[in-house]
Amino acid sequence: MGMTGNYIAVDSETIVKIASGELQLEELDPAEYPSLDIDKSWQAILYTLCGEVFNGEPPLGYVVPLLEDQTLDFLDYGAFYVKPEQVAAAVAAISGISEPDMRQLYNFEGMVSEAIYPVLEDEDRDEFFSYMFAHFADLRSFYETAVTGNQGIIFWIS
């Protein structure tokens, strides 16, 4: 198993209620919302885009939103929300990132030295990049769809 990154897209009213504490994440049924599972690639994507393991600089930090100021108490690792306007900013930032662009940002050795999950020293660097980029492409599509519906995003690790 392992720690997987999970997303749901929700309307802006729900994001406001969750951010204010008026609505608890446990009250939502994730099956009722558009969702995405990016498997174990979440921290590698964050590190590749932002060079950070937590609190990535926006707007790229909104893609895998491990944001201290947008945290919700949920499960073991918490959950994080992204408002619709932040989703739009993230889409603007990532829409033009091609595979060669991402490969330029990719720092496998840095991931190993920073102990980025789930990278292991004996991992095949090209194989891992392909795995990570496939999930990034799915994530980009998910965010693009959320923008068209003026939706916010909730992310958690399970």
- Any bridge partners for residue 157, and if so which? 5
pLDDT at 51: 96
Do β-strands 35-37 and 71-72 pair in parallel, antiparallel, or remain unpaired? unpaired
Do β-strands 151-157 and 71-72 pair in parallel, antiparallel, or remain unpaired? unpaired
pLDDT at 45: 98
Confidence of residue 75 (pLDDT cuts 50, 70, 90): confident
pLDDT tens string 24-44: 999 999 899 999 999 999 999
Compute CA distances 114 → 5, 7, 49, 117, 132, whole Å. 19, 25, 15, 9, 17
d(CA 20, CA 15) in angstroms, rounded, equals 8
pLDDT at 1: 59
pLDDT at 76: 83
